[in-house]
Amino acid sequence: MRIILLSTSVGALGSGAGGGVELTVQTLANGLVSRGHSVVIVAPRGSFVAGHRMIEVAGATHTPSQTVNRTQALVVPNNSVLVNMWQRVLQLAGSGDHDIVLNFSYDALPFTAAAECPIAVAHLVSMGSLNNEMDAAVRLAAASSPHCVAMHSEAQAATFGTAVARHTTVVASGIDVDAYHFVEAAGDDLAFVGRISAEKGIADVFAVAARSGRRVLAFGVMQDRAVWQQAQEQYPSARVEHVGFLATDELQQHLGVCAALIMVHRWVEAFGIVAIEALACGVPVITYDRGGPVEIVRDGLTGFVVPADNVDAVVAAVHRLGTISRGECRKDANQRFSAQAFTGRVEAWLESVVRR
């Protein structure tokens, strides 16, 4: 297949603004090329994905969908980078040199305008239901071309309702496990990896630090400094250190020596790619019983699944980390979430979309 990858519209690849989508684009680009497919990536200016043909497009980035409320209309900025990228995609699609568009942008345009594209458009949805307008766009795409929508977890698909879920292909996710160094001996620190924002549960990160007495290292883009400052004021005894956004190679060096990754999200995580990054390093994961991470963590084997919004349960799980085998964490990541396994699932899905 000759594939056009349409990137996220919230920021350049490599900036950290796109969260787990950035790593997913890299992983799939590498995996698809290794399987003999050709790939071109259309992305905002300033993007970088090593080893791949990039078409960088100028324009204003979009507001992340998770920062708007459910009833708010999605705003298309003047000189929208998504509109500009979509026009470039249409030009490429019309050349006769490509077979399918794989859309990573969680914004309405590629879903509602897919019919104007002369080749098939497949959508890998990165988040759960957040906004009524976006939900309608996903429903339209799923109804117009059944099975053109894929998601990372059953929990994510369920947030859009049965009409979408029954036409959705679940592909999970994956990483190049071999690129992550297994660390057998852990330190005492806990890790949090994600955007610094309310929906990621920053207040609960501070609460876990305060009640457990452990230091938490927070890796990610400082999206909402006010949320961070409020948590600091609420839990003055908490030792939480913001390390910042790190590229994968540097992140794993810090993450691998941590005792556990905590996932205390307040929303339905579509998947939680940071969980499999942690497991690849041998790091157990403690997650709330909410969203995609529940489908990753094997309770009692590779970490713990605790009741959502229950900080005390997270702290109790921290005290039980000695029962988890870090070697089992690495083994599980390799068996279920390798780049090869993920790419194979996506390849089969794309081929089915092209055939329809």
What local confidence, expressed as pLDDT, does residue 283 receive?
Answer: 98
CA distance 218 to 347: 34
User: Same domain for 19 and 155?
Assistant: yes
User: Same domain for 68 and 103?
Assistant: yes
Cα angle value 109/111/112 (rounded, 5°): 70
CA distance 9 to 85: 9
User: Same domain for 127 and 39?
Assistant: yes
User: Same domain for 248 and 326?
Assistant: yes
What local confidence, expressed as pLDDT, does residue 15 receive?
Answer: 85
User: Same domain for 99 and 120?
Assistant: yes
CA distance 187 to 130: 37
H or E segment to which residue 152 belongs: none
| Number of structural domains the chain divides into | 2
**Residue the block writes with tokens 């905002």:** 44
List the chain pLDDT tens, one digit each, 356 residues: 999 999 999 888 888 877 788 889 999 999 999 999 999 999 999 998 989 999 999 999 888 877 778 888 888 889 999 999 999 999 999 999 999 999 999 999 999 999 999 999 999 999 899 899 999 999 999 998 888 999 999 999 999 999 899 999 999 999 999 999 999 988 999 999 998 999 899 999 999 999 999 999 999 989 899 999 999 999 999 999 999 998 888 999 999 999 999 999 998 888 888 999 999 999 999 999 999 999 999 999 999 999 999 999 999 999 999 999 999 999 999 999 999 999 999 999 999 999 87
Q: Give Cα separations from 58 to 9, 26, 61, 72, 297 (angstroms).
A: 11, 20, 9, 26, 39
CA distance 209 to 235: 9
What local confidence, expressed as pLDDT, does residue 234 receive?
Answer: 96
CA distance 248 to 209: 24
CATH number at 325 reads 3.40.50.2000
Residues 292 and 221: beta-carbon distance below 8 Å = no
User: Same domain for 155 and 88?
Assistant: yes
Residue range of the domain that includes 240: 177-336
- Determine how many CB atoms are found less than 10 A away from the CB of residue 299: 13
User: Same domain for 207 and 322?
Assistant: yes
**Residue the block writes with tokens 């005390």:** 312
Distant-in-sequence contacts of 221-228, Cβ < 8 A, 24+ apart: 221/15, 221/16, 221/17, 221/195, 221/196, 221/245, 222/196, 223/195, 223/196, 223/197, 224/196, 224/197, 224/198, 225/196, 227/196, 227/197, 227/198, 227/202, 227/203, 228/196, 228/202
User: Same domain for 181 and 169?
Assistant: no
User: Same domain for 122 and 186?
Assistant: no
Residue 242 main-chain phi, psi, to 5 deg: -85, 110
H or E segment to which residue 330 belongs: helix 326-336
With H, G, I as helix, E, B as strand and everything else as coil, classify residue 159.
Answer: coil
